[in-house]
Copies of this chain bind each other. A is one copy, B any other.
């Protein structure tokens, strides 16, 4: 039905359209989603969408922008990193948090991936907000541990990427590629095991041989 909606304030309608659009874009991508579909699911006439957003693409970027601005996430990670717990607890909780948040709602991940694949020009900002910032905070923590000579001397950014890679790749395989249809994993066990591997791998040990410098070149 096209008129299940009553007259509501402009800002509210705008937000509602964005919510609906976000869900659809995340599920089907930009090209795969039609404005009619968005209108139907929002319960408004298609023309209303174009009153708020002149072109379909404007709606898309508005959705991306709003996702970029809802921070919330980085602070949680930063808080975990500055707690007094030991590294095992800290890293395992970060891993578990990533897994939990993404399995509960994969909208953000899907939107991020679709944007990266479909649109080459503006996905960078999205990437910087959601990926770069996140693992720069992690890299700072790792850098501190290296200075304390508790971690080995490796590029902190690469090490952070390695940790997040183990966790996020697992989520991708399970949730996006359908890995969960073949094998189920306990979230806590996954977090613990991956953290154990990475943490022991990062540990500075007397006998551990390592090339003089494992850092990457910056430009």
Q: Tell me which of B29, B127, B181, B202 contacts A178 (CB under 8 A).
A: B127
Report how many copies the assembly holds: 2
CB pair A29 B118 closer than 8 Å: yes
Q: Which of the listed residues A162, A176, A185, A196 has the most CB atoms from chain B within 10 Å of its own CB?
A: A162
Cα A179 to Cα B158 with chains together (Å): 12
Q: Are A211 and B192 in contact (CB under 8 A)?
A: yes
**Is A117 in contact with chain B by the CB < 8 A criterion?**
yes
Q: Digitize A2-25: 1 where CB-to-B-CB distance is under 8 Å, 0 elsewhere.
A: 000000000000000000000000
Cβ of B200 and Cβ of A208 under 8 Å apart? yes
Question: Could you tell me which A residues sit within 8 Å of B by CB distance?
Answer: 28-29, 31-32, 110, 113-114, 116-118, 120, 123-124, 127, 131-132, 152, 154-155, 157-159, 161-162, 164-170, 173, 176-179, 181-186, 189-190, 192-194, 196-203, 205, 208, 210-211, 214-219
Nearest CB in chain B to that of A194: its residue = B162
Assess the B193–A124 pair: CB atoms within 8 A: no
B29 A193 Cβ-Cβ under 8 A: no
Q: Is the CB of B166 within 8 A of A161?
A: yes
Which of B116, B190, B214, B216 has a CB less than 8 Å from the CB of A183? B216
What chain B residues lie within 8 Å of A132 (beta carbons)?
179, 182
14 residue pairs of the A-B complex, CB under 8 angstroms, read A29-B118, A32-B118, A127-B173, A127-B179, A132-B179, A132-B182, A158-B194, A161-B169, A161-B173, A165-B169, A168-B169, A184-B217, A189-B214, A201-B201
When chains A and B are docked, how far (Å) is the Cα of A110 from the Cα of B124? Answer: 17
- Given contact pairs A161-B166, A183-B218, A189-B216, a sample of 11 additional A-B residue pairs in the complex whose CB atoms are under 8 Å apart: A29-B32, A113-B113, A113-B117, A114-B117, A132-B182, A154-B196, A185-B217, A186-B216, A196-B210, A199-B201, A201-B202
A212 smallest CB distance to B (angstroms): 12
- If A32-B118, A197-B202, A203-B200 touch, whether A157 touches B169 (CB-CB below 8 Å) is no
Chain B residue contacts of A168, Cβ below 8 A: 165, 169
